[in-house]
Structure 1
Amino acid sequence: MTTRSRRVTSARLLSAALAVAATLGSLGFGATAAQAATNPQLQPALTAQDHAITDVPGLVNGRELGSFVGAGAQIVDAPRLLRTESLDKVTSAGAQTLASKYHVDLVIDLRTPAQVSAKPDVTVPGAQYVNISMFGSDGNYSDDTAMYHDLVDKGYVSPSSPGVMIGAYAQILRLMSAHTTGTVLIHCSHGMDRTGTVMDLLYRILGVGSSDILHDYLLSNTQLGVTWATPALLQGTFEADVAKKYGGLDAYISQTIGVTPTEATALRSRFLVSNDATASSISVGGVGVPLDTAADTGGAVVTAPIATLSASDVRVTTSSAAATSAVTVSGQTATVTVTAEDGTTMKTYTITVALPTIALAQGTNIAAGSTVHVTGAGFVAGAGYDVVVHSTPTVIGHLTAAGDGSITADVMLPASLATGAHTLFLADANGNAVSAPLSVTVPAATATAASTGSSGPSVATGGTVIAQPAPWPWIALGGLGLVLLALVGVTRRARSRFGR
């Protein structure tokens, strides 16, 4: 700790004064002190991805991990860790918020025993508390640069005797790698220097870039209303010393601190999440969807024999096993939304289902009683379908789709089919139309006695398929009538002879 400790109260008072000045400025009393004091280079503006904590009373410098891009294009999982100042000014309500909203169950305090004794943390309900003094027993510094030199390797003698600082880094990072539930909260006095170098190392392990690490470090200035943290301290002193003495941050982390590949992998698994919101496959009624087209503005159109589309007809496989998908349906259009593991990255796919079409080899002007050759494609392989003709729904044949979904069959139009326009389509076992209707016309010259066109349940709207009646009962009845008439005639002639 440097002479900053004597300036903390002043800084907090300054922050309050700046807030009052900002209010006066908003009322028209001239330029605010906050505007005059802002240093964009050292006090970057907070953004949504910085996740500043503003709802914990008594906490000024607090934020979750930044949602930066890390190794493998994954995203840092912000809620997994909080970096803050000491918790001695947090109210009991604030401590409860840390436990209930932020799920803090491990607090790592980097201060010296004397600092902890002077300003003990307010207890976070249910959280484990661990004190790891990075400076050992002596944390007083009169010069910031000297402090940042010591933040590299205070007490270092040899690899077998690395000293208090390197030992502290190893303990902190191993504790984080083994923590698999809840949220870690790590802090020092101001949440800036000791916490800042720990975060520098953690972010490096996670694969976060230097500019993002520096941005996160400088945000402590923004939240505290100071300019203590500088690139010269973090990059020009701490990181430069590491590079000079230990060959760079990667070597320092793996060789000097001794973070093993297993521990590094555990940290990445814990603090990185996928932002992959892509689908690896989508099918509708067993028909594959072209993903690139479905992701475009207009969406994709697929052909499938589905009379009424439902979410259960859509199957989605996500590229990342941790991603989730949701399907909504409006009419014959399905919208698939994939949400990445990070909970914010999403991708949408739109698919419209069109019914397959059928055709007649003979064209669409067909004489009643004619045999026609029906063809089509886009049906379910091995599924059976009825061939139906309107106006009065009449089944005129049955067929089974081939392995490639194509259909072909020869069927006969009813001889009694009336002159004029009719429709032909395929229906499933429930009588639902599963092909686009094909218009056919029976010319007047070839029409037989017109059918009455009586109304009946519509196959296209889910009605019962009406089977075509067989003609033989009527033929039999007609023949019987002729026989009876003949018998009557014979009887009359016999009576006339005997009557004479």
Structure 2
Amino acid sequence: MSSCYEVFPNGLSNFRDVGGYRVAGGGSIRKGLLFRSSNLTNVTKVGAEKLKTRHGIQAIFDLRSGIEMSQPSRHLSTIPITRAPALSDLNDDRIVVYLKGLTTDETAAVTAELYLWICTMSTSAFRAVFTYLRDNPQCPILIHCELGKDRTGICMAIILLMLGASDQDIMQDYQLSQDGIKSIIPERRLKLLKLPLLVDSAVPPVALDRHFLASPQTMRHFLVRFKQTYGSAQG
């Protein structure tokens, strides 16, 4: 039993229920409690109603940084939204190294190292999410960033590790974002190309192409490095 992304035509991309994966010791992660997606800016009235009534979302965590944050759809005003920036202090030098690394044959390893760095920068944000899950185990929650692939992917990987999911299933869940973000890549790419950092550093087009990949090998590398660094998701 495994998760799959849901075609959500009402202004929301890369949306899925992360429940259903088998866990160590038997059983599976309960469906209908843990959801992930891209940003919520364009969610329609119908989409918002679907989140509330069909999925019962009671809390939303936005992992984007302050410069990225835009007003969520006005139709979501009845669902509490917690701002929990996973990258409140963006390091330009680190991002340039990452993007240049994407022009090499080590894309998966380079991205995994960025993810590990994000972990160190996201302690407060992830703690807020984990605390909510601990204190509200029966409340459906939606976690998102801009694409719902990187910061959300890291957060979800750690949660799935804590719950006892296998590395293979965590990799599968991450890979689902490849199709989940297809419709929003062109718009996001244009936004990135306008950033002074990218203009000044003359990032090759291939780097941006690879930035939008959700390769299972990237998640494999990240899980190895995460366990080497922290020992376990509880570390």
Q: TM-score, normalised by structure 1?
A: 0.36
Comparing both chains, which one has the higher relative contact order based on Cα–Cα distances under 8 Å and sequence gaps of 6 or more? 2
Q: 1:232, 1:128 → 2: CA distance?
A: 35
Inter-partner Cα distance in structure 1 for 2:3 and 2:19: 5
The answer as to 2:191 corresponding to 1:239 is no
Aligned position for 2:23: 70
Query: What are the ranges of 5 or more consecutive residues in structure 2 without an aligned counterpart?
Result: 103-108, 186-211
The structure number with the bigger radius of gyration is 1
Deviations 1:14-52 (A, max 9, x none): xxxxxxxxxxxxxxxxxxxxxxxxxxxxxxxxxx84243
2:201 is aligned to none
1:181-236 deviation digits (Å, cap 9, x = unpaired): 43100001101111111111111111111111111110010222376111332222
Residue 191 of structure 1 aligns to which amino acid in structure 2? Answer: G
Match of 2:58, SS state, is strand
Give 1:408-427 correspondences, 5 Å limit. Answer: none
**Aligned AA (2:225):** D
User: How far 1:125 moved relative to its partner?
Assistant: 4.3
Over the aligned positions, Cα root-mean-square deviation in angstroms equals: 2.5
CA 155–89 in structure 1, closer or farther in 2 if over 3 Å, else same:
closer
Choose the corresponding residue for 1:122, options 73, 76, 79: 73
Which amino acid in structure 2 is aligned with residue 241 of structure 1?
A: R
| Equivalent residues in 2 for 1:56-455, closer than 5 Å | 56-116=9-69, 119-123=70-74, 124-138=76-90, 141-142=95-96, 143=99, 148-154=112-118, 164-225=121-182, 228-236=213-221, 238-246=222-230, 248=231, 250=232, 253-255=233-235
SS at match of 2:35: strand
Q: Does 1:54 align with 2:7?
A: yes
Given residue 134 of structure 1, which amino acid in structure 2 is its aligned partner?
A
| 1:55 Cα deviation after fit | 4.3
Task: Give the deviation of 1:151 after TM superposition.
Answer: 3.0
In structure 2, what is the Cα distance between the partners aligned to 1:121 and 1:70?
34
The answer (yes or no) to whether the contact 1:95–1:125 under 8 Å persists in 2 is no
CA distance in 2, matches of 1:104, 1:87: 13
What secondary structure sits across from 1:72 in the alignment?
Answer: coil
Unaligned runs of 5+ in 1: 1-47, 157-163, 256-500
Identity percentage of aligned residues: 22
Q: How many Å separate the matches in 2 of 1:75 and 1:244?
A: 26
Give the match's secondary structure for 2:22.
coil
- Give secondary structure in 2 for the equivalent of 1:82: strand
Distance 1:79 1:56 in 2: 19
| Alpha-carbon distance in structure 2 between the residues aligned to 1:89 and 1:78 | 25
What's the CA shift string for 1:318-371, capped at 9, x where partnerless? xxxxxxxxxxxxxxxxxxxxxxxxxxxxxxxxxxxxxxxxxxxxxxxxxxxxxx
Deviations 1:122-145 (A, max 9, x none): 142421110111111327634266
Measured after TM superposition, the shift of residue 150 of structure 1 is 4.0
Q: Distance in 2 between matches of 1:154 and 1:235?
A: 16
Change (3 A) 1:131 1:80: same
For residues 119 and 175 of structure 2, the distance between their equivalents in structure 1, rounded to whole angstroms, comes to 27
State how far apart, in whole Å, the 2-side matches of 1:213 and 1:136 are.
Answer: 26
In 2, the alpha carbon distance for the partners of 1:58 and 1:214 equals 26
| CA pair 172-146 structure 1, distance change in 2 beyond 3 A | farther
Q: 1:87 to 1:254 in 2, by over 3 A?
A: same
TM-score normalised per structure 2: 0.73
Indicate how the Cα distance of structure 1 residues 122 and 181 shifts in structure 2: closer, same or farther if over 3 A, else same. Answer: farther
Higher relative helix content: 2
